Amino acid sequence: MAGRTIGAVGEHGFLSRLLPRLPVSPDTVVGPGQDCAVVRCGRQRVLFTVDALVEGTHFATHWLSPYQLGRKSFLVNASDIAAMGGRPRFCVVGLQVRPAYRARDLSALQAGIVAAATACGAVVVGGNLARAAQLSIAIALLGEAPRRLVTRAGAQAGDHVYVSGTLGDAARAVRWLRGAQRGHRPAQALRRFAEPTPRLQAGRLLAESGIVSSMIDVSDGLLRDLGHICEQSGVGAVIRTAAVPRSDAYRRALGSSDLLALHGGEDYELLCTVPERNLPRLEQQRARLGCPITCVGRITAGRRLRVLGPDGREMPIAATGYDHFRTR
Ligand SMILES: [Mg+2]
């Protein structure tokens, strides 16, 4: 791939060449390819993750106030800690800022990061500020690992597939913000987009209790993120679209349209698999999760991801707008 651009090689293509060549440490408990790495630091097992919000890629500056932007950039990282059942503890912040960006706005952004970190039980312990052509906020977050680790690998045929909260609202907001959807300002969807709620309590409980066999957060859309679980667990899945939880506002705006609930990203809900034998324990714990959780399908043998429409018939995945299960 010597002369090719990263755009041509693609994220998946690039990572699949890079990752096998990375040196490994005996203290790497879980390496790349998960929501967080798990490493041994002294006697402690620690979760470690990094994510960035980049102007022009993830947001336009008029979409979010600086304070909201700061909050969101922390919360998306906390969601990766939730997906591994951890507790966010310490973070460092890498800010890249246009010289014309107002100092007052940067202070508000920083205040947003600190507020979100505090709300999640974490503290900001350092960072770096650099000049750049576009605003970008990268946060590296350390978290306490649960006693029982849960990753994207571990789903088995017969497991039930569950998702927390509701899906599709953040994508609805992005569509409206990009001007692709007319009509009323979708206030509830915009709130979901601006203020994701990492499911820390549910993630922790589901991991510690050993109820789930695999878990991921829904950042790229239900089918794509379920694709990650299937790929890493060596299984397939069947999803019933009618079961995919949507908010009342979603139903009012889009009726029975599945597209954004199945494919929309940035909901930061949890997606997990539960072996049949653990269903009674899940029901016992349900009230303590801090959010609703809904069964949307089953894990199957064979590596196919199938989607059943409201009539119970299989829908061609391409017809739902999704055509590359295996990428990323
Ligand atoms: Mg994630």
Last residue in a domain, options 85, 117, 144: 144
pLDDT (average), residues 294-318: 92
| Same domain flag for 311 and 167 | yes
| Same domain flag for 213 and 309 | yes
Q: Provide the greatest CA pair distance for the chain.
A: 58
CA of 74 relative to ligand 1 center, distance in Å = 13
- Residue 177, domain member (yes or no): yes
CA of 152 relative to ligand 1 center, distance in Å = 10
Q: What is the pLDDT of residue 317?
A: 78
CA of 132 relative to ligand 1 center, distance in Å = 26
Strand 314-315 and strand 293-300: the pairing is unpaired
pTM above 0.75, yes or no: yes
The answer to whether 162 and 294 have CB atoms below 8 angstroms apart is yes
CA of 218 relative to ligand 1 center, distance in Å = 7
Q: Where does the pLDDT of residue 324 fall: very low under 50, low under 70, confident under 90, or very high at 90 and above? A: very low
CA of 7 relative to ligand 1 center, distance in Å = 22
Number of domains the chain is built from: 2
CA of 311 relative to ligand 1 center, distance in Å = 32
| Same domain flag for 200 and 54 | no
Residue 222 scores a pLDDT above 80: yes
Q: What is the pLDDT of residue 38?
A: 96
In this predicted model, what pLDDT tens digit does every residue of 92-142 receive, in sequence order?
999 999 999 999 999 999 999 999 999 999 999 999 999 999 999 999 999
Last residue in a domain, options 118, 144, 170: 144
Q: Where does the pLDDT of residue 2 fall: very low under 50, low under 70, confident under 90, or very high at 90 and above? A: low
| Same domain flag for 80 and 116 | yes
| Same domain flag for 183 and 292 | yes
pLDDT (average), residues 281-308: 96
CA of 219 relative to ligand 1 center, distance in Å = 6
Surrounding ion ligand 1 within 5 Å at CB are 35, 80, 217, 219
CA of 42 relative to ligand 1 center, distance in Å = 26
| Same domain flag for 48 and 188 | no
- Percent of the chain topping pLDDT 90: 79
- Percent of the chain topping pLDDT 70: 96
| CATH code where residue 81 lies | 3.30.1330.10
CA of 76 relative to ligand 1 center, distance in Å = 8
| Same domain flag for 133 and 166 | no
| Same domain flag for 164 and 301 | yes
Nearest alpha carbon to residue 197 among 266, 137, 281 = 266
In this predicted model, what pLDDT tens digit does every residue of 150-209 receive, in sequence order?
999 999 999 999 999 999 999 999 999 988 777 788 999 999 999 999 999 999 999 999
CA of 315 relative to ligand 1 center, distance in Å = 27
- Residue 295, domain member (yes or no): yes
Measured distance CA(307)–CA(314) in Å, rounded: 6
CA of 37 relative to ligand 1 center, distance in Å = 11
For tokens 């879980």, what's the residue? 30
| CATH code where residue 191 lies | 3.90.650.10
DSSP 159-225: PEEEEES--SHHHHHHHHHTT-S-SS--HHHHHHHHS----HHHHHHHHHTT--SEEEEESS-HHHH
- Mean pLDDT score across all residues of the chain: 92
Q: Where does the pLDDT of residue 327 fall: very low under 50, low under 70, confident under 90, or very high at 90 and above? A: very low
| Same domain flag for 195 and 264 | yes
In this predicted model, what pLDDT tens digit does every residue of 39-95 receive, in sequence order?
999 999 999 999 999 999 889 999 999 999 999 999 999 999 999 999 999 999 999
Last residue in a domain, options 144, 178, 213: 144
| Same domain flag for 271 and 177 | yes
Q: What is the pLDDT of residue 51?
A: 93
- Residue 138, domain member (yes or no): yes
Strand 87-97 and strand 123-131: the pairing is parallel
- Residue 134, domain member (yes or no): yes
CA of 285 relative to ligand 1 center, distance in Å = 24
Q: Which domain holds residue 47?
A: 22-144
- Residue 283, domain member (yes or no): yes
CA of 182 relative to ligand 1 center, distance in Å = 30
Residue 20 scores a pLDDT above 60: yes
Number of residues written out for the chain = 328
CA of 33 relative to ligand 1 center, distance in Å = 10
